Structure 1
């Protein structure tokens, strides 16, 4: 890992509209486009370059969704998606500035990004079929793998973590991950750790078998949704690593009650997250 320099151009000073991102010494270009501004994006000279695109939205249970696609003419394909039901609000398009990507290249990229999203498990994938992996030369594959790494970095920087593994710790990768534990009433027994964008509860962690009357309705709904979608099975056990937006949200789901995660999650020595944060700030 080494430092990167990102150039970002925010059109008309509106961060919720269109943003263009580039990396130094890379021929790729990433656009973030609000659905309502797709027409403005289409007027750009490179809008119909060959590339891949991601459509981001929410499903009926408010879970993040992504559709992963490719096109020889990106803008024309995105216009077709305006006829879709309102499952997407924002789009990210990834092209090469010199328009050297061909159909085989973007089919390769589409498949790789689909599998990255699948393995990450952060977003619900809307695609009805698995994209076909095209055959490319050894030279092209090396180039495309680097293209993927750079595109992932920019997509992540724009706030969409669909392709980032949730097991990645927030501290330096060369350091051991600090594990935190909860053992509480009604069978709660969980292990988790802090990541840059929240708190991960590890697979095989067990949540409390019931909730307290004082637990907020929104937290109860979250527990119900995790049980219904298979993230937590009928034995109250996490079937996979799952990322929450905060330690408190994770603790509440695990303990079946309102909770302050910075106090409830503790290391094997009994140190809380709050104590660690305070010691680091001194």
Structure 2
């Protein structure tokens, strides 16, 4: 039995879709969710729905009992994520989970001084705990989803400018759907035990690249300006805009070259070339 946590989220749903395409039956899957109503469609498909929460140890043990493979999607509650993950691993051990596939994060994180430490701390500790636990594990070191790029750059066709404090740093973003497809491959087959995989693209991209691609696609000149952190924050304040602090951290980390790790791990798992940035942007900004 395969249990997918975060099953009503984008990544979880995509992973379930790819498992079905790979021939895994709904009777071989279960979904761990906090809200039964949001999982009604999964239940109708014949997937067993288990209600629980990373903050509730007993619900975790109950859900994990009888499970062979657990897709452990990392939590989104950043202040409490480290404690939540520790609780998940303790429950998995108590329930006798045979194999945990964990969605970690990618990046050259040196320590608490990194702009990405708020994101990375739980991942670093969870990876360490997994390796020391005696549990069979597979670690997926996920990069930023390529789908986030249009959100980061805003309405560039209107402004003509990408204004972000990312410097000349690059990041090897990849499509969430292709990460989910690669994850489904690992869940549906064997041979990935006690290994780590880099879920990144085979090329890293900077916002200069993004500006150039959109210019080529649309015919409208898009410029990239990289302000200092202080200038960026002051501009947001003047415009009355609010960007989550964690997203600013990603941009600052990119400026430091934290996200430039590249790998062909995902291509090997899905059996084809990954979608490049320009092809993705072509879909987003295609001219009718």
TM-score range, shorter chain: 0.3 to 0.5
Q: Which has the higher strand share?
A: 1
Higher CA-based Rg: 1
Q: Per chain length, whose mean CA-contact separation is higher, i.e. which structure has more relative contact order (CA < 8 Å, sep 6+)?
A: 2
Q: Which has the higher helix share?
A: 2
Q: What TM-score results when the alignment is normalised by the length of structure 1? A: 0.35
Q: What TM-score results when the alignment is normalised by the length of structure 2? A: 0.34
